[in-house]
């Protein structure tokens, strides 16, 4: 995790490893940081919450929007996941904007498969100061929702943290599932708190029974 007490932002300065400016100052540091995250991901497995969401999506009309940059939802079986903050297992060419799957280390010598440029490959991850992905699609699906559920987020990063307020304007019921109340927990109609492997699984089972 990034924002927990012992998360990555307590160990690294986000200005150094998660901004375009940091990448411009020291691209090797940034590439090494995300290489380590990719190595962590290679050992990670979906938990019961990921699996419960995938089962629910297979039975109900679910739009899954994630701020997470891992592919654990896909590993659990979810389809068409909207990664608004990009993907750790994709590359972005800063020269030709090519995006493709990339699971190996990135170095200053990495070559773009499309334009053959060298030193222009970075993670396809949205850094602070950059525009999140798929905003038009997200803004289309939110007004049509019958329920908005926020799972495991700090409620501090916008625009995602603003979706609960948007849903309230449309009269859409809102629910927070989290380890503890988020920064904007007071905006939700209801909240359930505890480990995701418990509260998300229980909620998904109830939703499938409706």
Give the rounded distance of the alpha carbon of 141 from its chain centre. Answer: 17
Burial bucket for residue 188 (CB in 10 Å: 0-12, 13-18, 19+): buried
Contact 157, 128 (CB under 8 A): no
Asked if 85 is an active-site residue, the reply is yes
- The catalytic position among 50, 73, 83, 85 is 85
Report the Cα 129 to chain-centroid distance in Å. Answer: 16
Strands (E), the chain: 65-66, 82-83, 86-93, 99-101, 121-125, 148-151, 174-178, 190-193
- Cα–Cα distance for residue pair 163/185, rounded to 1 Å: 12
User: Are the CB atoms for 92 and 120 separated by under 8 Å?
Assistant: no
Tokens (6 digits) for 3: 């924002």
**Active site residues per annotation:** 85
């Amino acid at each position: 995790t990034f924002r927990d007490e012992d998360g990555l932002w307590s160990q690294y300065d986000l200005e150094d490893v998660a901004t375009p400016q940091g990448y411009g100052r020291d691209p090797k540091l940034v590439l090494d940081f995300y290489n380590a995250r990719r190595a962590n991901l290679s050992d990670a497995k979906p938990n019961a919450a990921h699996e419960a969401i995938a089962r629910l999506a297979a039975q109900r009309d679910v739009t899954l929007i994630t701020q997470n940059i891992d592919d654990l939802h896909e590993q659990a079986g979810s389809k068409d996941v909207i990664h608004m903050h990009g993907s750790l297992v994709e590359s972005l060419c800063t020269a030709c904007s090519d995006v493709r799957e990339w699971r190996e280390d990135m170095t200053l010598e990495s070559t773009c498969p499309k334009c053959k440029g060298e030193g222009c490959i970075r993670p396809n991850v949205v850094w602070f100061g950059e525009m999140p992905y798929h905003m038009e699609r997200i803004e289309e699906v939110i007004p049509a929702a019958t329920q908005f559920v926020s799972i495991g987020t700090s409620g501090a990063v916008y625009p995602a943290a603003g979706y609960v307020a948007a849903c309230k304007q449309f009269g859409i019921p809102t629910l927070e599932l989290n380890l503890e109340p988020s920064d904007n927990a007071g905006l939700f109609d209801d909240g359930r708190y505890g480990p995701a492997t418990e509260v998300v699984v229980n909620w998904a089972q109830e939703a499938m029974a409706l």
